[in-house]
Amino acid sequence: MENLHKTYHDKSGQLELSVFLKPDYLIVSYKDLSSILPEDYLEFNTQVGNEMFENKIGRLLLDISKMQGFGLSLRAAGVNNLDRLMIQRAPFFVLAIIKGPNLFENLATQTALKMALPLSKKFLAGEMFDSNEVGRKKALDWLLGFPVPSEFK
């Protein structure tokens, strides 16, 4: 990860954003979200969108392997604002997700991913990957290797 440009944490330290350049991609990691307020979650997602816009980055790896406490209020805030805060600010949007330990969370995330794909023509693809070392490598390889149509470059 020698191409790490910068890292940002929310004030609780439970949300982390890492910006990588050359190749350009973001890693967002969720940990214990039980004490995160919806406004803090939206502030963090705004920061993610800002980085996508400022650095012209459309590739995002979301790591939910340590996520817990993702309540309904945060889910609603995320779903209702994903397009406005992130997708529309990025040149395109490709999402790789590292699965969490909870089967229910993974199913909910998979369902949300399928529902989010039609939000924008910029949302090109999304896939989920196992949290083991092989799965993480596959996720990053898929994310960086996904062919972006010339209209989005």
Which CATH number fits the domain that encloses residue 92?
3.40.50.10600
Interval 90-149: pLDDT, tens? 999 999 999 999 999 899 899 989 988 988 999 999 999 999 999 999 999 999 999 999
Closest CA to 65 of 117, 144, 139, 150: 139
Average of per-residue pLDDT values in the chain: 94
Boundaries of domain holding 129: 4-152
Interval 47-65: pLDDT, tens? 999 999 999 999 999 999 9
Query: Structurally, how many domains does the chain consist of?
Result: 1
Contact criterion met (CB below 8 Å) for 87 and 93: yes
Instruction: Give strand ranges (E) for the chain.
Output: 4-9, 15-20, 25-30, 59-63, 93-98, 123-129
Contact criterion met (CB below 8 Å) for 81 and 44: no
**Which three-class secondary structure state does DSSP give residue 1?**
coil
**Which three-class secondary structure state does DSSP give residue 139?**
helix
